[in-house]
Amino acid sequence: MTATKASTPDEFFAALPYDTRVELERLRAIIRRAAPQAAEVLGYGIPTYRVSGKPLVSLGVAAKHLSLYVMDTDFTRTHAERLGAYDASGGAIRFTLASQLPAEFVEWVVSQRLNDLGAA
């Protein structure tokens, strides 16, 4: 990321290094397909998807990994068996460009979160 803070999700994505942008844009498209009713906003400086004003998921970038935030700290405990193959704790599922999240997994996460919010 650049030192300039983004004021929109599009600015956030545009400021990313190419490979990171391509990967997060892929996840962005998956989330939009899985939850077309979700509004895309910036929350805490990162793209956040909200349903009925409630946070569904967010996408983040750190120095050594990318994250799919599930916006619920109980999610990783509740779904520990399904998440066992991933670096998941608290409300985050961390991954790298070398270990991308499969589309069907991201769809499952979004579907579970929609259920959690009563929006499925």
Q: Say what percent of the chain tops pLDDT 90.
A: 85
Query: CB atoms < 10 A from the CB of 83, how many?
Result: 18
Domain ranges of the chain: 9-113
Cα 25 from Cα 45, distance rounded (Å): 16
* pTM for this prediction: 0.92
Is the pLDDT at 2 greater than 50, yes or no? no
pLDDT, average across residues 74-83: 92
Assigned CATH topology for domain 9-113: Aspartate Aminotransferase, domain 1 (3.90.1150)
Q: If you search the block for the tokens 């290094």, which residue do you land on?
A: 17
**How many residues are listed for the chain in this entry?**
120
The pLDDT of residue 3 is 46
Structure tokens at 16: 């990313």
